[in-house]
Structure 1
Amino acid sequence: MKRGDVIGGYRVVSDPTNADGGKCVWAFAEKDGREYFLKRFLEPKRPREGGGGSAASRRIRLETCREFEERHRSIMKRLRPDAGGAGNLVLATDFFHAGSTYYKVTERIDTAGLEKPQSLGPKQRAVLLRTLATSLRLLHDIEVVHGDLKPANVLVQRREGAAFHTAKLIDFDDSYLSGRPPAREDIAGDSLYGAPEWRRYVQGDESVEGGQLTTAVDVFALGLMTHVYLTGSLPAHDSRFGSPADAVNAADPLAVDERLGTSTQALLTAMTSADPGARPTVDDFLAALKDPEACTLHATPQPRPATPAAPAPAPSAADGPRRSRVQFNPPDRPHDGPADDKPTDDRPAKSRVRINLGHRREGLSSDRPTP
């Protein structure tokens, strides 16, 4: 792919780059007078007719390509740009292969955005997080895992004349259906924001099966991102661990900023639990944002919620579903409407979220259904 090439009817109008592209190369393109973002996947490659390699190798490559196509097309079918509430999702408009190479197309948008969301006031941060969470809930309602939720895949923008910043969610290349991720050697994501079960899956832990990688993977990342948006940094953990998930898998708890309110500290602790079934849902998160203090950063440390007497070990498939030692009790939550650039919703506000992190003994934990 180079400037001036016409690929699938799209004329490339910029020099391709791999900047922030992962396993892709991208460029801007034009078609029928409209501007697009054209992404070229570096893998997998479709075997060429008459190409080299054995018949068995060709069959394996074709099967890999079939699964790749099926995953991308199934996500596109579920997530359409014209779907209700999808105004803050930047979705693909075309997916095709030319020769042996796959391409994906989205409309070109302004990628400039606010670099430090923590600089916003509490109400502004609450609106920002609500638009992000509402977009994520749209995915989870149709059993889609974003799979690579991180600040780089969220554009924080404010339309001219608007009072609030909103979050636009981008890059669904690593999305998959809940419980049906790509194979260990094919799955992608960012280890810094990856969930504990995702890390163990990628690292070849056979006790973690694909069915354990559900929408709760995104909730872990949302908890980390919320901490970043409120404080400017990830929750602290021992430096010997390369990521928050690695620390959690080693039963070394993350340290949530004590300037956050007690309820928010407990919420983020629950969202970053080692046990996927112990994490709140996105609906729970949205309900918690109704607390006017949820996004407030206090000048002095707030009381730290009580923690279990002993950290729970990372769950394994052989153990079956684990029950959380952290009891998260969300308020009643009627269903939100779409957030598309809206600073408020019409649902009646409930009392602030109640989170009980009292000491529990093994076997006395609350029954919390898996998201």
Structure 2
Amino acid sequence: MKLGDEISGYHVVTEPTNANGGKCMWAFAEKDGRQYFLKRFLEPKRPREGSTASAASRRIRLEVCQEFEDRHRGIMKRLRPDARGGGNLVLATDFFHEGSTYYKVTERIDTTTLEKPQTLEPRQKAVLLKTLGLSLQLLHDIDVVHGDLKPLNVLIQKRDGAAFHSAKLIDFDDSYLSGSPPGRQDVAGDSLYGAPEWRRYVQEDESVQPEHLTTAVDVFALGLMTHEYLTGSLPAHDERYGSPADAVNAGETLRLDSRLSDSLRGLIRATTSLQPGKRPRMGTYLKALKDPTVCALVHRRPGTADSKPPAPAAPAAPLPAEEAPGTRVSRIRSNLGRPPASAKPEKPAPEPETPTPTEVKRSRVRINLGDRRKP
């Protein structure tokens, strides 16, 4: 793919790049007078006609490609652009292969985004988090896991004349059905926002099987992003660990900003629980934001944020399939459980007033819609 190419009717109008693209190249293109975002996957590759590869090699490559196609087409079929509440989802409009290479197309949109959502007023923050939560609820209701939820894949925008900012969710290339992710070597994600079970899955922990990667993976990332959107930083943890999930897997309790309201601290504690089944569903998350004042930061007197530190989390344990309640998709079950109705909210712990996020190496960051500063 290069500037000026014609690919299945799409005319490439910018120099292709792989900026923030992982194993993809992307460029802007035009077709029938409309502008599009065109993505070229670097893998998998279909066998070329006349290839000298053995029959066995061709068969294996075709099986990999068929699985890749089925996953993408299956997600596109479920995520309809005209679905109720889908206005904040930026969805693919075309998916095809030309020669040995796969391509995916979305309409070109304004990629500008608010860089510091923590500067918004409490009501603005509440509306922003609600629009993001509603988009995830739409996905989870049809048993779809976004799979790479992070700020880079959320555009925060305000239309001309609108009173509030909204969150547009992008990049569904790494989405999968709840409980049926790609293999350990192929599943995508970002180690900074990945859930504990996802981290253990990619680290070849055999106690975590594919059925344990459910919509709860997104809920963990949403909890981290909620803290970041409200305070400007992720929850803090010991610098020995490369990510919040690694710290949680080691039995550490994430340190939350003491300025957060008790209600939001309890919500973030729940969403970042070690056990997927203890994380709340999206309906519970949205209900917690019904009163926008919960998003206000409060300056507490020293020593009044908590009465005692929370008990350390239990070490990571195997996730048995029988603990996975929820809607069944063929043989797949979601283990995104609800907290018991009788459970009491744990008391938050004393923490630094302004925790500093640990710099960690990101792993396998996937494509977004390009340089947001230069639409």
**Superposition TM-score tier, normalisation by shorter sequence:** 0.7 to 0.9
User: Counterparts of 1:279 and 1:305 in 2: how far apart (Å)?
Assistant: 24
Q: Gapped runs of 5+ residues in structure 1? A: 332-353, 360-371
2:182 is the alignment partner of 1:182: yes
2:315 is the alignment partner of 1:313: yes
In structure 2, the partner of 1:149 is: 149
In structure 1, the partner of 2:373 is: none
1:309/1:243 CA distance change after superposition, 3 Å: closer
User: Counterparts of 2:52 and 2:181 in 1: how far apart (Å)?
Assistant: 30
Q: For 1:27, give the aligned amino acid.
A: A
> Is the Cα contact below 8 Å between 2:123 and 2:293 reproduced in 1?
no
2:305 is the alignment partner of 1:303: yes
Q: For 1:187, give the aligned amino acid.
A: V
Identity rate of aligned residues, in percent?
69
1:38/1:271 CA distance change after superposition, 3 Å: same
Shift of residue 329 of structure 1?
6.5
Q: Deviations over 1:175-202 (max 9, x none)?
A: 0000000011111111110000001101
In structure 1, the partner of 2:96 is: 96
Q: For 1:103, give the aligned amino acid.
A: Y
In structure 1, the partner of 2:164 is: 164
In structure 2, the partner of 1:334 is: none
> Is the Cα contact below 8 Å between 1:329 and 1:356 reproduced in 2?
no
> Is the Cα contact below 8 Å between 1:265 and 1:305 reproduced in 2?
no
In structure 1, the partner of 2:16 is: 16
Aligned length, in residue pairs:
335
Shift of residue 18 of structure 1?
0.6
> Is the Cα contact below 8 Å between 1:251 and 1:313 reproduced in 2?
yes
Higher relative contact order (CA 8 A, sep 6+): 2
**Other structure's SS at 1:293 match:** helix
User: Counterparts of 2:308 and 2:319 in 1: how far apart (Å)?
Assistant: 28
Shift of residue 61 of structure 1?
1.0
User: Counterparts of 1:263 and 1:83 in 2: how far apart (Å)?
Assistant: 32
TM-score normalised per structure 1: 0.86
**Other structure's SS at 2:27 match:** strand
1:321/1:215 CA distance change after superposition, 3 Å: same
Q: Deviations over 1:47-96 (max 9, x none)?
A: 11221332222211111111100000000000011111110000000000
In structure 2, the partner of 1:40 is: 40
- Over the aligned positions, Cα root-mean-square deviation in angstroms equals 2.2
User: Counterparts of 1:322 and 1:79 in 2: how far apart (Å)?
Assistant: 24
Worse-superposed segment, 88-97 or 57-66: 57-66
> Is the Cα contact below 8 Å between 2:146 and 2:175 reproduced in 1?
yes
User: Counterparts of 1:308 and 1:124 in 2: how far apart (Å)?
Assistant: 31
User: Counterparts of 2:5 and 2:34 in 1: how far apart (Å)?
Assistant: 16
Q: For 1:12, give the aligned amino acid.
A: V
Worse-superposed segment, 220-229 or 299-308: 299-308
2:291 is the alignment partner of 1:291: yes
Q: Gapped runs of 5+ residues in structure 2? A: 326-337, 349-375
User: Counterparts of 2:293 and 2:315 in 1: how far apart (Å)?
Assistant: 32
In structure 1, the partner of 2:329 is: none
